[in-house]
Chain A
Amino acid sequence: MISHKVLIVGGGLAGLRAAIESSKYADTAVLSRVHPLRSHTGAAQGGINASLANIQANQDDNWEKHAYDTVKGSDFLADQDAVEVMTREAPERIIEMEHWGCPFSRTEEGKIAQRPFGGAGYPRTCYAADKTGHYLLVTAYEQALKQKVVFYNEWFATSAIVENGAIKGITAFDILTGDLEVFTANAVVLATGGAGWLYGKSTNSMINTGSGMAIAYRAGVALKDMEFVQFHPTALYPTCILITEGARGEGGYLVNSKGERFMQRYAAKAMELAPRDIVSRSIQKEIDEGRGVKDLYVHLDVRHLGRNKILSNLPGIRDIAMQFADIDPINEPIPVQPAQHYTMGGIDCNTKCETTIKGLYAAGECACISVHGANRLGGNSLLDTVVFGKVAGEQAGTFAKNTPQETRKEALFGEALKKEKEQIQRLFEGSGDEDTALLREEMRGLMVEKAFMFRSKDGLVEAKAKLHQLQTRLGKLRPIARYKVFNLDLIRAIELREMLELAEVIVASALSREESRGSHVRLDFPKRDDTRFLKHTLAYKSPDGPRIDFSPVKIAKWQPEERKY
């Protein structure tokens, strides 16, 4: 048994920012399935939004305009009180990262440089070349080291231990030894990132399997707005590695097989810098209507920006295009297609990052506060992690400090450990012949086929039935290889169980929302329906699968209006 006052599950930017804050108040440890520097934050490229007004073109910008753009981008589903917290605090949180050493690109005056991004009225995306996520992650990790935060790297969390509606700890196993342990804590912050790997086409890291969401869901916390899945317009064909929105922010064009800048047809004013849901649908439409290149992708053309600008502001995507598609964007257009990119939904929590379990908090992509609503704006995800990572850390730290350390809970912890050991034992003793990799790929294919950008009742009902079959087949797995040290077979079996559960939630939530809003498009309900669906979806675990409920959206200044770009 290992004890800390605060335990943070996940070592990406949200988890690290939470740890930096929490350690000011109470003994804090971070538990992560990978070394923190391997977290998916490092793959974020384009930037982080704040109304710093650092350049000539954004002198009139302020947090309220940032808030409005965010709310409009969310198709009015974001909670406006939460958006206010995020956009008001944005400048302070980003300047703090700069003070801690983040190597932002600079204006001629030496200020943090800003570039235009999709759906934003002003160029307010602060950037560090096209590797902003990597630099922010490294900076936060450095600060966590400075603060002497304790790290449990390569530990895989499996469940939350809850008693009388309050968190008591978690169970986790050490990937390097296979040992299962109980971690006790007064407060736990879940910061495990998104669930992109549920989709066969995704820009995400392979570790983004939604672990923390599944843990919270099984513990009885609702998952909110899970039908809202962001599809990024420009994933490299065919590997789906991200090509930053910054490429369009710098002036890149989207071009179809006829050489047309087709965004003219869909968002004449914003063009390539319309929000992601709109650009992704437009690309897919071009491909579906026969104007895709080889019917597979469209071109992202940055050649006209010139060699120097590409080398200084987009060096990372040039490397990616060269290494993974064998093309140099200085000389050739980049083949791109839409792919799953971000999980707008997540663990239901409020603006203090509190869940319905006392002492359990969530932050970052695994959480749904909600600041992104039905469609997240580019540059707002890194912002979400630093703003609400700090909030979660502060809340967890002060809560844990003021809560007396639990004395003896041996029965509770012993029971939790026994239950997890039995789960793993059952995997080792499987008597069927179903294979985890095959089931996983079937699920990932199904999600692309039936729960991607364009959805319908028929497709979703079919997906629901097929997921049910996959669940049944999951019960007939072949025996998982028995081994203690670094057992990938075991990890991937546990992941699959979690991913299937989340896939069911996405499909059930998408079925319940009979309207089209932001990233969620129902071909059978093509219009937004504020009368019936200006509300959040809540999915609770029940023996019969996800039970769907709803909660109101917090509207403050901005009444829903039609989105035009």
Chain B
Amino acid sequence: MTTTASPPKKIRLNIQRFDPKTDTAPHYDSFEVTTRPRMTVLDALFQVQETKDRLLAFRYSCRSAVCGSDAMFINGKQRLACNTQISELGDEITIAPLPHMPVVRDLAVDIGPFFHKIDKVKPYLVSREPYPIKEFLQSPKDRLKIDVAIDCIDCGACLSACPSAWTDPNYLGPAASVKAARFVADTRDIAQTERLKIVGCEDGVWRCHTIFNCSDACPKSIDPPYFIQYLKRKATIAALKH
């Protein structure tokens, strides 16, 4: 274990503040924070909220990078506040809400539009009914086909980073495409045709220009373009068959 028990020091957090109900434009407030070993950006935000400005608004829950609550724009990159170490960022840290998402207040964005996109791809398994008494059999090899795609924590980082989504608000975007791919690739699912129609439409996977911003942004290393390319292939084959 490498010990990075560096002595406490003072750093600056520049945090974007905005209440769309009362403010005409966002502004930045600057706060001094005292570091401690293994301090994360989330820890620093709590220090600000508890000791400097009690009205600072941000989301949190698991503080261990599995719940997806605290994706934000940290030093110009989409990251989770809870698994970003202060020591990696230098002495001046700039924090803003996820870009290209409506702000609720300060660092909390309206995640609704993100989930509406996911709702469009029929985001649940459609399997043969009545169900068998035992589980559906799925070989380890087939199970591997949905690996990684199922790790999505719905944090919204990918959509926020996607230039295609910036210009086309109707574009499904990376997370919804990954969700669709997760079911299309699942040997238990029988709604492939329907899903491929959804993702193959005008606002579907063809809007992806493989810019890979989403891959850089994803805190779970999911690589959405890999799954989008998979859906493009599948959708093309399905279209040719008809």
What sequence of 0s and 1s flags, for each residue 228-243 of chain A, a beta carbon within 8 Å of any chain B beta carbon? 0000000000110110
Contact with A along B165-179 (1 / 0, CB 8 A): 000000000000000
Interface presence of A218 (CB below 8 A): no
Cα of A34 to Cα of B108 in the assembled complex, Å? 12
Q: Find A481's partner among B55, B61, B66, B135 (CB 8 Å cutoff).
A: B55
Q: Is B57 an interface residue (CB 8 A)?
A: yes
Q: B150 to A135, Cβ gap below 8 A?
A: yes
Q: Which residues of B contact A108 (CB under 8 A)?
A: 139-140
Interface status of A42 (Cβ within 8 A of chain B):
yes
Give residues of chain A (85-131) contacting chain B, Cβ–Cβ below 8 Å.
95-96, 98-101, 103-112, 131
Q: Note all chain A residues with C-beta closer than 8 A to B127.
A: 99, 101
Query: Do residues B64 and A486 form an inter-chain contact, with CB atoms below 8 A?
Result: no
A323 to B221, CA, bound (A): 13
Q: Are A145 and B62 in contact (CB under 8 A)?
A: no
Contact check, A205 vs B63: say whether CB atoms are below 8 A apart: yes
| B124 A101 Cβ-Cβ under 8 A | yes
Kindly state whether residue B202 has any CB partner on chain A within 8 Å: no
The yes or no answer to B60 lying at the interface (CB within 8 A) is yes
Determine if A99 and B135 form an interchain contact, defined as CB atoms under 8 angstroms apart: yes
Interface contact A489-B150, CB-CB below 8 Å: no
Question: Can you name the residue of chain B whose Cβ is closest to the Cβ of A151?
Answer: B115
B153–A37 touching, CB < 8 Å: yes
A326 close to B (CB within 8 Å): yes
Cα–Cα distance between A446 and B169 once the two chains are bound (Å): 51
CB distance from A253 to the nearest CB of B (A): 17
What's the Cα separation between A205 and B15 when bound, in Å? 24
Selected contact of B124 from candidates A37, A107, A146, A327, CB within 8 Å = A146
**A437 contact from B50, B61, B153, B188, Cβ within 8 A:** B50
The residue that A110 contacts in the complex, of B1, B4, B139, B183, with Cβ under 8 A, is B139
Whether the Cβ atoms of A327 and B143 lie closer than 8 Å is no
A109 to B137, CA, bound (A): 7
**1/0 per residue B181-222: CB within 8 Å of A?**
001001011000000000000000000000000000000000
* A240 nearest CB across to chain B (Å): 9
Interface contact A320-B154, CB-CB below 8 Å: no
Q: Are A35 and B1 in contact (CB under 8 A)?
A: no
CA distance A319 to B124 in the complex (A): 27
- Tell me if A142 is interfacial: C-beta within 8 Å of chain B: yes
Complex: chain A residue closest to B2, CB-CB: A326
Interface: A500 (CB within 8 A):
no
Given contacts A239-B38, A481-B54, contact A42 B62 (CB under 8 A): yes
- Do A323 and B55 touch (CB < 8 A)? no
Asked whether A138 is an interface residue with its Cβ less than 8 Å from the other chain, the reply is yes
Question: In the bound complex, what is the Cα–Cα distance between A35 and B59 (angstroms)?
Answer: 11
B179 to chain A, nearest CB (A): 9
Of chain A, the residue at the smallest CB distance from B22 is A485
Give the residues in chain B near A37, CB-CB below 8 Å. 67-68, 153-154
Proximity bits, A505-518, B CB within 8 Å = 1, else 0: 00000000000000
Beta-carbon contact of A488 and B83 below 8 Å: no
Contact indicator A325/B136 (Cβ below 8 Å): no
User: Is B223 positioned at the interface, with any CB of A under 8 Å from its CB?
Assistant: no
B119 touches A145 (CB 8 A): yes
The docked-state distance in angstroms from the alpha carbon of A101 to that of B60 is 28
Query: Given the complex, which residues of A lie within 8 Å of B91, measured CB to CB?
Result: none
Is B135 in contact with A111, judged by CB distance below 8 angstroms?
yes
**A143 in contact with B61 (CB, 8 Å):** no
- Provide the residues of chain A in CB contact with B62, threshold 8 Å: 38, 40, 42-43, 205-206
Flag if A101 contacts B188 (CB, 8 Å). yes
Q: Which residues of B contact A412 (CB under 8 A)?
A: none
Does B151 belong to the interface (CB within 8 Å)? yes
Q: Mark B111-128, 1 if CB is under 8 A from A, else 0.
A: 100010001000111010
**Contacts A109-B137, A134-B66 hold; do A488 and B49 have CB atoms under 8 A apart?**
yes
Distance of B101 from chain A, by nearest CB (Å): 14
Chain B residues with Cβ below 8 Å from A558 are: none
A206-B135 contact given A42-B66, A323-B65, CB 8 Å threshold: no
How far is the CB of A143 from the nearest CB of chain B, in Å? Answer: 6
B69 at the interface (CB under 8 A from A): yes
How many residues on chain A are close to B (CB under 8 Å)?
A: 61
B119 near A106: Cβ-Cβ < 8 Å: no
How many of B's residues come within 8 Å of A, CB to CB? 58
Binary contact readout A140-173 vs B (1 if CB under 8 angstroms, 0 otherwise): 0011011000000000000000000000000000
Asked if B125 and A106 make an inter-chain contact with CB atoms under 8 angstroms apart, the answer reads: no
Chain A residues, Cβ within 8 Å of B4 = 326
Complex: chain A residue closest to B141, CB-CB: A106
Q: Are B136 and A38 in contact (CB under 8 A)?
A: no
**Which chain A residue lies CB-closest to B125?**
A101
Cα A487 to Cα B21 in complex, Å, equals 14
**Whole-angstrom distance between the Cβ of B102 and the nearest chain A Cβ:** 12
Known contacts being A98-B135, A100-B125, is A34 close to B57, with CB within 8 Å?
no
Residues of A close to B1: CB separation below 8 A = 325-327, 332, 335
Contact with B along A19-47 (1 / 0, CB 8 A): 00000000000000011011110110000
Given the complex, which residues of A lie within 8 Å of B183, measured CB to CB? 101
Residues of B close to A320: CB separation below 8 A: 64-65
Knowing A43-B67, A99-B135, A131-B151 are in contact, say whether A486-B106 is a contact too (CB < 8 A): yes
- B146: chain A residues within 8 A (beta carbon): 103
Asked if A207 is at the interface (CB within 8 A of a chain B CB), the reply is yes
Chain B positions within 8 Å of A550 at CB level: none
Contacts of B66 in A (CB 8 A): 42-43, 131, 134, 316
Decide: A241 and B64 in contact? CB cutoff 8 A.
yes
- Smallest CB separation, B8 vs chain A (Å): 15
Q: How far is the CB of A153 from chain B (nearest CB, A)?
A: 9
The answer to whether A106 and B105 have CB atoms under 8 Å apart is no
Distance in angstroms from A17 CB to nearest chain B CB is: 15
Name the residue of chain A whose CB is nearest to the CB of B80. A323
Question: B1-29 toward A: CB 8 Å interface, digit per residue (1/0)?
Answer: 11010000000000000010100000000
Task: For A40, list chain B residues within 8 Å (CB).
Answer: 61-62
- Contact bitstring B46-85, A, C-beta under 8 A = 1, else 0: 0001110011111111111111110000000000000100
B104 at the interface (CB under 8 A from A): yes
Q: A101-B188, A205-B63 provided; 15 other pairs, C-beta below 8 A? A: A35-B111, A39-B61, A103-B150, A110-B137, A110-B138, A111-B137, A135-B150, A138-B150, A142-B124, A239-B38, A319-B65, A323-B65, A323-B83, A325-B1, A488-B54
- Give 17 CB contacts A-B under 8 Å: A35-B115, A42-B66, A43-B67, A103-B143, A103-B146, A105-B143, A106-B139, A108-B139, A108-B140, A205-B63, A206-B61, A435-B50, A481-B54, A486-B105, A486-B108, A488-B49, A488-B56
8 closest A-B pairs (Cβ-Cβ)?
Answer: A101-B125, A110-B137, A142-B124, A486-B57, A437-B50, A489-B54, A98-B135, A38-B67
